[in-house]
Amino acid sequence: MTRTQSRGKFAAMGPLRSALPIGITVGLGLSLMFSAWLMVANRMPSLDRYANLRNAAAAGAFFLVSLLPLACYRNSPVRLFLSGFIGCAIASLCFFAWAMRFNRLENHVSAFQVFVMGGALYGLAAILVWLGTLLRSARIHHISMQPATRRRGH
């Protein structure tokens, strides 16, 4: 096997290798925040009167951490999707583990539903990034293909 054949064989793993660190970071961040939120919600009854504020703060923190793949890969839909998908998988595993400890946790949503919803949202974000890339490319191509006289305003 020559060197170029082996490179082609592993070329598809390039996006995965570059998306893996961000995906792991997002997954661990979401898992840690979810664990902290769960502990505060269930082990600190003195803060129950601030439940709405606590839940809103947790939702905002989840949202900000979830934006990390979009901030890192705003020009690469494949890497955006892969890193988000990896993060959702790790967070879903954490949710599943906590659902075994807290029996009523999965009453409203299961770990699989969390995984699918997260993957769908990152898929939608990747599609929107891809469409934006296509539109920018088409606009640049359209401008560069105009005759020189039309571009100068003659």
DSSP state of 75: T
Lowest-pLDDT range of 2-6, 10-14, 32-36, 112-116 = 2-6
Q: 45 pLDDT exceeds 60? A: yes
The pLDDT value recorded for residue 75 is: 87
Enumerate the domain spans of the chain. 3-151
Q: For 92-123, what is each residue's pLDDT tens digit?
A: 999 999 999 888 888 888 999 999 999 999 99
Helix axis angle, 14-43 to 51-66, nearest 10°? 170
If one compares 117 and 138, the residue with the highest pLDDT of the two is 117
Average pLDDT over every residue of 136-141: 77
pLDDT in tens, 62-71: 999 999 999 9
Nearest Cα neighbor of 19 from 79, 92, 81 is 79
- Average pLDDT value for the chain: 85
Specify the long-range contacts of residues 53-57, CB closer than 8 Å, at least 24 apart.
Answer: none
Find the mean pLDDT for residues 119-128: 95
Per the CB < 8 A criterion, the answer to whether 30 and 62 are in contact is yes
C-beta separation of 64 from 30 below 8 A: no
Q: What angle do CA 119, 121, 122 make, to 5 degrees?
A: 65
Query: Can you give the pLDDT at residue 122?
Result: 95
Tokens of 66: 């979830």
pTM of the model: 0.77
